[in-house]
Structure 1
């Protein structure tokens, strides 16, 4: 069946879960980790921060988009049947109990537990008069000069307030009895939590019974306590904190651009002035002060969140960095497979067989070394690479710069439209251009999300190509936190495909078909639909059929409809979807053969793996693409096969099967859109998939080392 026919058959609203409500369920699972009584204390703090940071981005992008639709009077419902206004109402209704749960956890559990472990978040009023005096002196010297009080009166308009910034709303009274409103920004160049030990006791060792001790005060509280110093001669009537979230999803007019880089830079500037989509305020803020903010920020009461606790809990990640190891998970050190030791000839190894790395269980160092060695190798003629999120201090970009300095042909596609990484990417694009690298910014209307590196090398038998393809970014920081799989190969057809994709990106090409790769937006959806259809045909013919798909998000209606068709044909479908899932599982006559699970744990699940039984001739594909319209229609994505028998079996038996056996961190999606922990069957061993994979990587590496020593 075609995508159109599938949608005609299965495109009823009740067959789809709203993507934004599904996202809220994902963030609920993040909050569940913070609520887990078995998790070390600072790990709970980390998940509180992640939950809050996720929510900030959700409002900046998703909620802002829905509000734009409402403002434009869009009445057409999404595929799940909800209009924009209905979506917004349901979003707020679902979020309110989660926010209450978050602040109950923070105030009544985490803060007291931190104190019990000598990490004390002081209320300013509980400090002694002497301590307050010392902090006031510190305030005068170190903080006061940075602050800028901004008045609001007929001569001075309401001040601009930046996205996600914490501010103090101050009501002052002049000597003549007039009341006025002012705003003071809590500067984000200073830490939100000020560690006060060195200020209060500069020469004293900070330990308790030989253990670690740290004392903090909220920077906003210190400013509030000394706010009168900013308004001399005035009476301070009231002071309350507030925080705003702006729409940062500014539309790009790429087709009208002469220079994409300058357009992106202008877009970053415009973000500062996006409309306000959320106002967070202290619970005790009086109505007249709240009304002043609402009127001048042009928002309604529906856009206001009131909290009895600190605003912007994403900032508590600073506590996770404290050197208190007993309050964190046992550290894990990624392993390097023995055959990839730096003494080996990397290219010779890849010529012998494909090599797979599963991060963060395997170290990302071999990927960096692959680029570095290519940069240094006199026989390497050219390096081509895509860069999506590279980070602030990228050894990979430095290696590419060195390669260009050595006279190699270097071509890099730097995706300037990688949301919230634009400034980093602009910086690296300019640094690369300075040394003569051919830098391409991407195609108009499309983001380049594929993760590809191509090395062209002169060898004794002619020019040979080597490729690294991955499900994740070339970012050494996130490679320690995200689960991703990368493949090194010199397979001629895959290398030819990657060459063709780079030519498509840097030149002009109408190529629609490739030898082994699926490439979005050209043919990925079509190829995946064909693979699903083949499983359906096999099942109907009495042949073995099974589909396993692991991804971050499943939203695309034709793919969902095809999976429904597979279920109705009797094909077993196992889906491992970390985040948003619009498919409704377990419905008789629709999806009774489909199970959906989500795993949220120590690492962020990020790898995309697609498995098809294929009548016993197993096929495994890795991909940079999720099953979303944006990945299939509006991005350059690469899906690539794993053909080496041993690697394929490793993914099936020691990755996918392990995720499907997880009964510790796995939650199963029910047909009502809710998720519930997978409970271990009686007598069954508890399996935490990420812990299992950590142990497996270490065990295999140790066994290989022993075998080599024994030889």
Structure 2
């Protein structure tokens, strides 16, 4: 009998359904107005990266022969067509939310975004003076000559495609290209009038002053339309780690700027003749043509100024304390008593900085080992490591240069650390090091002890203010002895084997996860209680999906919390009848990876740096670790329970992919992030 085909949603389509959930937040009337604009910004930035990476990959795959496509499991061209249909629908929804809803609500709050046709004489004079003082010198138009190569458009840069004409003289028409400078703010706040606030965008300032730019010509009609080109951003680097690696990476980053065009966003009001001219010159495929609104690179709207009341934004959350840890007491001393967990962003990231700071200044600390992936711009983590080296500690830092879109920053930090005497290992040949681990060696009266910090998120104090993660301090030998073994291998640019407590990719994490799932299957088959609760950012690995279907069919009760991609399809007869999936999109970004297994009423919990994706199992160094302290485990379990009960921001993931908000089956509303903050506040204050 032929094996039934597994229900498996294409990961790119699943990602688009996730981004639709971000768009839902922008449409949610209960979300403060300025925050809704920011969700539009996040949606736009997400889509930019999606085209630069995922669509770029599909375009490469589209040229495969039929046999290769069969091995792939889907037709890339068909998926690209589906992507375009969904994206065009989302762009229309985006435009409707922004123009019909948010612009109107801004006006109700006496805030007006003016375009270039809406300026009165006084505001027009203010804008023109600002343009001449601050903007004009940064603009250099390029006149388009049909007989010469078209200028190379930068990835994601904003341009005006300009049409210059004279009435009654069609043959005199000319085209020009104008790049909008990134160094100038997109937003200009105009003088207030009668308690009315006015904002104008850079694009409309330039449109209002086009005659100041092209005054040397005698054209009497000048029309400008915004365009933005997104290019293939995948790196093409030699797979070697050597002293020349950083130079190779720099060259590859330069290539990224000139990658193949993936998407052309254009103002839908542009004439067909102008669009045809552009398409012909840029060689953009039909799948990459996306009619958009007048304002592209909407990611910049993350900095949209709030000129209204404080109620238009989320109230800032004051970072909470952790009971037992104090700024003026040794964290190392407290760790000897028991494990501690910091729940970010609800509790302060300062505890992680204080841990590193203490390691840097404690005369009994001899060595610090740490893996770094993404860092804050002015990193306190880096400063602590540099000070540790200056204080004579041996500091071994594995800084992953291949962290996508953070390569430039990580090259800078690598050079800075090396200059200050830190031993920098910038990655392994075949794998990205994505783990978030730190181990401190301390020697007191001849006795060596180890102090560890392991987390689900990066050592990054900036993202720690908006990413929900768990960061654990422990001195338990089961953890520290295996971390020492792992760091000894990583410092030699290899990965160790044979861990009992840690779950380490790419060595054994797949087999360990399979084993934990199979254990629940055995309990279910024996008629014993069997369940799993898995929380991840993405679930896309076919092997794991198949194993979860097997567990569901055995009667294991499976609850999944998946923020982003979910290729598993719940509720399918014969496959996933015992699986439910929710996705939570809210004020903070749900980022923690938590794996809970019933284990015949002896519940086990693991935290990890890894999602359930093939790359996390096979192409990255990831570290999962058991939560051994009962109190820490209970706190995380309580937080997970709030998320499972969420009936405000949780969406049900189902076969229809309709992103419906979860129905309220309780008498009260449960919003997990609010519940979590209040829970920790009551427990720790």
- TM-score normalised to the size of structure 1? 0.92
SS of residue paired to 2:60: helix
Asked if the contact 2:123/2:190 (under 8 Å) is kept, the reply is no
Note closer, same or farther for the CA distance 1:156–1:148 as it changes in structure 2 (3 Å cut): farther
Shift of 1:214: 3.8
Shift of 1:442: 0.6
Answer yes or no: is 1:699 the counterpart of 2:682: yes
Residue 112 of structure 2: aligned partner: 120
Residue 131 of structure 2: aligned partner: 139
Shift of 1:234: 3.4
SS of residue paired to 1:172: strand
SS of residue paired to 1:616: coil
Q: Could you list the per-position Cα deviations for residues 231-257 of structure 1 after superposition, in whole angstroms to 9, with x for gaps in the alignment?
A: 312314432211111111123222386
Residue 669 of structure 2: aligned partner: 686
Residue 224 of structure 1: aligned partner: 207
Residue 84 of structure 2: aligned partner: 92
Residue 598 of structure 2: aligned partner: 613
Q: Could you list the per-position Cα deviations for residues 508-533 of structure 1 after superposition, in whole angstroms to 9, with x for gaps in the alignment?
A: 55632113101100011110000000
Counterpart among 59, 68, 90 of residue 67 in structure 1: 59
Shift of 1:129: 2.4
Q: Could you list the per-position Cα deviations for residues 681-711 of structure 1 after superposition, in whole angstroms to 9, with x for gaps in the alignment?
A: 2x52210111100111111122xxxxxxxxx
Residue 656 of structure 2: aligned partner: 672
Residue 349 of structure 2: aligned partner: 364
Residue 4 of structure 1: aligned partner: none
Q: Could you list the per-position Cα deviations for residues 432-483 of structure 1 after superposition, in whole angstroms to 9, with x for gaps in the alignment?
A: 0001110011101211100011111112361111000000001111101010
Note closer, same or farther for the CA distance 1:156–1:142 as it changes in structure 2 (3 Å cut): farther
Matches within 5 A, 1:581-600: 581-600=566-585
Shift of 1:308: 4.0
* Greater alpha carbon shift after TM alignment, 584-593 vs 177-186: 177-186
Note closer, same or farther for the CA distance 1:329–1:411 as it changes in structure 2 (3 Å cut): same
Q: Could you list the per-position Cα deviations for residues 169-222 of structure 1 after superposition, in whole angstroms to 9, with x for gaps in the alignment?
A: 12235999533321010111111222233xxxxxxxx5865xxx6421121121
Gaps of 5+ in 1: 1-7, 198-205, 703-711
Asked if the contact 1:17/1:80 (under 8 Å) is kept, the reply is no
Matches within 5 A, 1:182-261: 182-197=176-191, 206=192, 214-231=197-214, 232-235=216-219, 236-255=221-240, 259-261=244-246
Shift of 1:156: 4.8
Kindly report the root-mean-square deviation, in angstroms, between the aligned alpha carbons of the 2 structures.
Answer: 2.0
Shift of 1:81: 4.3
Shift of 1:364: 0.8
Residue 309 of structure 1: aligned partner: 294
Q: How many angstroms apart in 2 are the aligned matches of 1:233 and 1:637?
A: 60
Asked if the contact 1:172/1:234 (under 8 Å) is kept, the reply is no
Note closer, same or farther for the CA distance 1:395–1:298 as it changes in structure 2 (3 Å cut): same
Q: How many angstroms apart in 2 are the aligned matches of 1:302 and 1:565?
A: 38
Q: Could you list the per-position Cα deviations for residues 116-140 of structure 1 after superposition, in whole angstroms to 9, with x for gaps in the alignment?
A: 2232211121111232233222212
Answer yes or no: is 1:29 the counterpart of 2:28: no
Q: How many angstroms apart in 1 are the aligned matches of 2:307 and 2:681?
A: 27
Count of residues in Structure 1 that have an aligned counterpart in Structure 2: 680
SS of residue paired to 1:254: coil
SS of residue paired to 2:575: coil
Note closer, same or farther for the CA distance 1:374–1:675 as it changes in structure 2 (3 Å cut): same
Answer yes or no: is 1:524 the counterpart of 2:509: yes
Answer yes or no: is 1:55 the counterpart of 2:63: no
Residue 498 of structure 1: aligned partner: 483
SS of residue paired to 1:281: strand
SS of residue paired to 2:369: strand
SS of residue paired to 1:241: strand
Gaps of 5+ in 2: none
Q: How many angstroms apart in 1 are the aligned matches of 2:147 and 2:126?
A: 37
SS of residue paired to 2:336: helix
Matches within 5 A, 1:289-304: 289-304=274-289
Counterpart among 533, 541, 546 of residue 548 in structure 1: 533
Asked if the contact 2:241/2:429 (under 8 Å) is kept, the reply is no
SS of residue paired to 1:676: coil
Q: How many angstroms apart in 2 are the aligned matches of 1:551 and 1:594?
A: 15
Note closer, same or farther for the CA distance 1:156–1:454 as it changes in structure 2 (3 Å cut): same
Q: How many angstroms apart in 1 are the aligned matches of 2:475 and 2:307?
A: 44
Residue 655 of structure 1: aligned partner: 639
Q: How many angstroms apart in 2 are the aligned matches of 1:32 and 1:23?
A: 14
SS of residue paired to 1:255: coil
Q: How many angstroms apart in 1 are the aligned matches of 2:446 and 2:453?
A: 22
Shift of 1:155: 6.8
* Greater alpha carbon shift after TM alignment, 15-24 vs 72-81: 72-81
Q: Could you list the per-position Cα deviations for residues 40-90 of structure 1 after superposition, in whole angstroms to 9, with x for gaps in the alignment?
A: 111111111111111111111111111111145576447894310111111
Matches within 5 A, 1:264-663: 264-319=249-304, 324-460=309-445, 462-507=447-492, 509=494, 511-652=496-637, 654-663=638-647
SS of residue paired to 2:600: helix
Matches within 5 A, 1:140-179: 140-153=132-145, 156-173=148-165, 178-179=172-173
Q: How many angstroms apart in 1 are the aligned matches of 2:497 and 2:344?
A: 32
Note closer, same or farther for the CA distance 1:375–1:272 as it changes in structure 2 (3 Å cut): same
Q: How many angstroms apart in 2 are the aligned matches of 1:509 and 1:94?
A: 43
Note closer, same or farther for the CA distance 1:409–1:74 as it changes in structure 2 (3 Å cut): farther
Asked if the contact 1:257/1:263 (under 8 Å) is kept, the reply is no
Q: How many angstroms apart in 2 are the aligned matches of 1:359 and 1:530?
A: 30
Note closer, same or farther for the CA distance 1:550–1:126 as it changes in structure 2 (3 Å cut): same
Note closer, same or farther for the CA distance 1:297–1:361 as it changes in structure 2 (3 Å cut): same
Residue 37 of structure 2: aligned partner: 45
Q: How many angstroms apart in 2 are the aligned matches of 1:508 and 1:672?
A: 45
Asked if the contact 1:16/1:79 (under 8 Å) is kept, the reply is no
SS of residue paired to 2:538: coil
Q: How many angstroms apart in 2 are the aligned matches of 1:164 and 1:195?
A: 25
Q: How many angstroms apart in 2 are the aligned matches of 1:699 and 1:455?
A: 32
Asked if the contact 1:578/1:600 (under 8 Å) is kept, the reply is yes
Asked if the contact 1:76/1:83 (under 8 Å) is kept, the reply is no
Note closer, same or farther for the CA distance 1:696–1:394 as it changes in structure 2 (3 Å cut): same
- TM-score normalised to the size of structure 2? 0.96
Q: How many angstroms apart in 1 are the aligned matches of 2:333 and 2:397?
A: 25
SS of residue paired to 1:126: coil
Shift of 1:320: 5.5
* Greater alpha carbon shift after TM alignment, 372-381 vs 295-304: 295-304
Shift of 1:227: 2.1
